[in-house]
Amino acid sequence: MLRKRIIFTLIYSEGFFMQSRNFRLQKVGNLNWLEKNYKFQNISFALDELILLNASKSNKNIYEFAKTVSNLVNDVFIPIAAGGGIETLEDAELLFKSGADKIVINSLLVQNSIMVQDLIRNYGSQSVVASIDCKSNGECYEVFIKDGTVKVDFSLSEYIKYLEDLGVGEIYLNSIDKDGTGFGYDETLIESINKITSLPLIIAGGAGNESHLLKGLQLVNVSAVATANLFNFIGNGLPNARNLILESGENIANWNKD
């Protein structure tokens, strides 16, 4: 059985890392600030993966973003998935050459399905993560692209079937409603997805403490829990979360033994 994972998501925008709440971004600090406060090379034992998302609004400069990926790789010895602004095979290749182990795609899923299939053929489904941003309208969940600004014409169930047909290997499921709140994951959304597909899920949006991560990993089809909360998990937050999850008996790697 595959190990479950704890993931830290970094939101990047035009040279800075951001805190997000309901997809509204607030600048926190640059790469030097990140290194000073997190020292990822020291806490990487508490994580299984990093996800770096380019949420730049005006210009998703893939070359500047790739430099940031490369700089992170110099200090981190865990897998990194990177996405945001990927439009061509060359964009994906640049991120892989900069040190990314996987790519994350969102808007491209709708805008160019042929390119998505080309990416999967070139790099394998295990290297292509489909990012889905969902928001409740009070009656059902709607899917958005373009950093949460454009609603797609698919229903949620239609969209999941569409992604299965494309051949993506994993879904990064983010709740816009829960994003940055620290109130816990949107379990109703996750259960809705589980009724539709057995694709492995990375769940995001809402984690604010260790118990949220543990509860998330205990949900059906959840292969990984992600948090982008730069403040609730500063200091010993992530190591404490991993210890709690290990003590619970969940199937995550124990770096002290594995």
Rounded distance between C-alpha atoms, residue 138 and residue 3, angstroms: 35
Buried b or exposed e, range 107-116, using 16+ CB within 10 angstroms: bbbbeeeebb
Q: Answer yes or no: are the C-beta atoms of 20 and 55 closer than 8 Å.
A: yes
The phi, psi pair for 144, rounded to 5°, reads -125, 150
Closest CA to 146 of 207, 87, 95: 87
Closest CA to 151 of 132, 168, 166: 132
Catalytic residue among 91, 133, 147, 186: 133
Rg of the chain (C-alpha set)? 17
Query: Is residue 133 flagged as an active site residue?
Result: yes
Number of Cβ within a 10 Å radius of residue 67: 14
Task: Kindly list the catalytic residues.
Answer: 133
